[in-house]
Structure 1
Amino acid sequence: MNKGLYIHIPFCLSKCPYCDFYSVAFDSDTANRYKDAVIRNLRCYLSQDENLRFDTVYFGGGTPILLWREICDIMDEIQPYIASDAEITVEANPCCTDENALCSLKTHNVNRISFGLQSGNDNELKALGRKHNSKVGADAVKMAYKAGFYNISGDIMLGIPLQTSDSLIETISYMTSLPLSHISAYMLKIEPDTPFSKRHLILPDEDGYANIYLETVERLSDKGFRQYEISNFAKTGAESRHNLRYWRCEEYLGIGPAAHSYFNGERFAVGRDLRAFIESEVQPAIITERECGDYEEWAMLKLRLSEGLDFDTAEKRFGVTKDDILKKCRLIPDDLYKTDDKTISLTPKGFLVSNAVIGILTDI
């Protein structure tokens, strides 16, 4: 069975004040050594299973497009192990994107670009510490489309300091005017030990977040972007196949510091240490879970999706019946979920309190 491949690219030109993803300052020598370590690790895993094939590949970060040359080398290495119809994504920062990088990635079979746009309002972009403005963001998306990328994603940040209903509408109009097929809309979360955690930011209250989220869902739907996961929206057929793999509890291999894997029945993680990764013959991974994919985990992930979980699979795989699940629904307000003969799923209001609702539905 085909699996997914995630490669973490832990380099950025500078760190955004809200970000707690693992990344370091870019320099070309370290980037080249990092590429060699990625290829060394890939060869190790591939040598253990000559039948291993990947039908989704995702270069995340960090700012992966900074290493477009190295990504092209990695793609050359793994090309024999990639399925013919694979989805291959590279994340990109608009201010680090140019035509040469895009055209080179395209010729190396990358077919999806994901841009960190975050907002269409320049004041909000400044508040987030982004290095690009709305024009640079739009130009980058259009450049990618011109280079032959017709599967392009853009991120929206919700709950930004100074964000208003009008600026949210401005951002959604901006995003939907671009040749995007996919939009991810994430709530700003203040992570510990980030610069934002040390500032006195004026952020929406709980009701404000709810209004922003529900308005985003409604307006994106009106523009043809169907919600298929708590934070993800797509035009028909443009759902992220790689991310769907996570939510459907399917296996993937992660390479690089801070990368996680669900591979050969185990979950494991690599430490946030670039030097250790580069210097180790095989990435130093720690097993986090040996018995994976039980009902609680499967249901929790499936309920993040608009498709929800299906009763038939729950019973066949885990012995959890439709009646078992529907009994739990008595504890949940009717407007937070919907059900039919085959499935149960959360509504947009249910997604707002998904942790609580999923906790009830998985406590079986």
Structure 2
Amino acid sequence: MNNEKPFGLYIHVPFCDGKCPYCDFYSLPADGEGMERYTQTLLELLPAYAQRYPRPADTLYFGGGTPSLLGAKRLGALIARAKECFGLDGAEITVEVNPAEDLSGFLRGIRAAGANRLSIGLQSANEDELALLGRRHTAKQAKKAVRDAQSAGFDNISLDLMLAIQRQTKESLLRSIEFCADAGVQHVSAYLLKIEPDTVYGKRKETLCIPDDDAASDLYLFACEELEKRGFRQYEISNFSKPGCESRHNLKYWRCEEYLGIGPAAHSFMEGKRFYYKRNFSEFLGGAQPVPDGDGGGFEEYAMLALRLTEGLTDKGCRARFGGKLPERLLRAARLYEKGGLTVCGDGGFYFTPRGFLVSNMLTAEILYTKTK
């Protein structure tokens, strides 16, 4: 291993035991033979990538799908091979899990293999909302999953919440937030529901009883406030953590740092180039190569990603990345929105407030591309 800056390693596990009606991620039914073939393919690919990128990684993230379906033995073999290939000294190693099954033995197994962070798909702590989301677990099962994880030695646990879902109110959302706080987890990802066209939700959008845009905005701002009250500091549009427990892997995406993604639908950004694997399981098993997706890491892309973070766009970050301070015209443009409570500006840069995050796409475009005097 050389001394270049470590990158992040992402492994996509595309297996699920069912498709949630809102989900647009690439996934397919779990199958024992398919999972075994997939694991073997990954075990062969990791050394090949290590030859291409003979550098260390300091994060490893198993996303999905439902990575826990692979089982502790397969995941343990993948972690061991990744360590052989990329070091992973002091690495954050995250596994996504769903709490619909008894995970106690699995969690002990992956913890022994080196996993040290969990992301658990809670989505809601209200049984009626879980049913409407098509989730296959209960709040009681989610609570047991967290306790089992803690018993297995995990002290860095994240729970996912969904905002602006069917029939959600501030009262029901508060119950979910209190569930997270009472469970003693270190991180919460709270995402506004987005209706994707090719999902079950997308095909019957008009029949869904979901909050309108104003109500969704209120729920988001309410979540930000209540999570902060309980010690979860917002550090990105949809992510909140106890101090020091931010997702190191996901921060690589938002800081425009390098990451290597392996598996169908996985994306990468390495050595200034972006590339991805097509959403095709059989082609991946057959040795299909990733598809080039252009260059990356330019200033505009860096700025767009930085503005997802509460640290925002700063002189310090621009100097480290590009050798010069933040362009003054951007700071002038950002100041136009400060009175409206959308931005906070200082001598060294600016960032968006939670209200600014709600209109971040529009706001980012206005600041980056509008000419100011």
Separation in 1 of the partners of 2:76 and 2:38?
14
1:198-243 alpha-carbon deviations (Å, 9 max, x no partner): 2210111111011000000000000000000000000000000000
Pairing 1:358–2:358 present: no
Equivalent residue in structure 2 for 1:117, among 122, 128, 151 = 122
Residue 345 of structure 2, aligned match among 327, 339, 342: 339
Shift of the 330–239 alpha-carbon distance from structure 1 to 2, 3 Å rule, reads: closer
Matched, 1:42 2:49: no
> Within 5 A, what are the aligned runs for 1:136-285?
136-199=141-204, 200-280=207-287, 283-285=288-290
CA apart distance, 1:362: 2.2
The alpha-carbon distance between structure 1 residues 320 and 75, as it changes in their structure 2 partners (threshold 3 A), is: same
SS of equivalent residue, structure 1 residue 94: coil
Would you say the 8 A contact 2:18–2:29 is kept in 1? yes
Residue 142 (structure 1) shift: 0.8
Aligned: 1:53 with 2:33: no
2:95 match: 90
Count of residue correspondences: 360
Change (3 A) 1:276 1:179: same
* In 2, Cα distance between equivalents of 1:176 and 1:204: 25
Give CA deviations for 1:13-56 in whole Å, capped at 9, x if unaligned: 00101001000000111001001111221111112243x11100
> What's the CA shift for 1:147?
0.4
Q: Given residue 221 of structure 1, which amino acid in structure 2 is its aligned partner?
A: E
CA contact (8 A) 2:96 2:120 kept: yes
Distance (Å, rounded) in 2 between the aligned partners of 1:314 and 1:60: 30
Task: Give the CA RMSD over aligned residues.
Answer: 1.4
TM-score of the two chains, using structure 1 as the length reference? 0.96
**Contact 1:7 1:255 (8 Å CA) reproduced:** yes
191-200 vs 321-330, which deviates more? 321-330
1:312, distance to aligned residue in structure 2 (A): 4.0
Deviation at 1:330, TM superposition (A): 5.0
1:315 CA displacement:
5.5
Following superposition, the deviation at residue 320 of structure 1 comes to 6.1
Residue 100 of structure 2 aligns to a residue whose secondary structure is helix
Query: Is 2:66 the counterpart of 1:63?
Result: yes
Gaps of 5+ in 1: none
SS of match in other structure, 2:223: helix
| 2:13 paired with 1:9 | yes
- C-alpha change, 1:265 and 1:152, in structure 2 (3 Å) is same
Structure 2, unaligned runs of 5 or more: none
Pick the aligned partner of 1:311 from 307, 312, 315.
315
Output the amino acid matched with 1:348: P
Distance 2:87 2:17 in 1: 30
Match of 1:77 in 2: 81
Aligned-residue sequence identity (percent) comes to: 45
Distance 1:64 1:70 in 2: 10
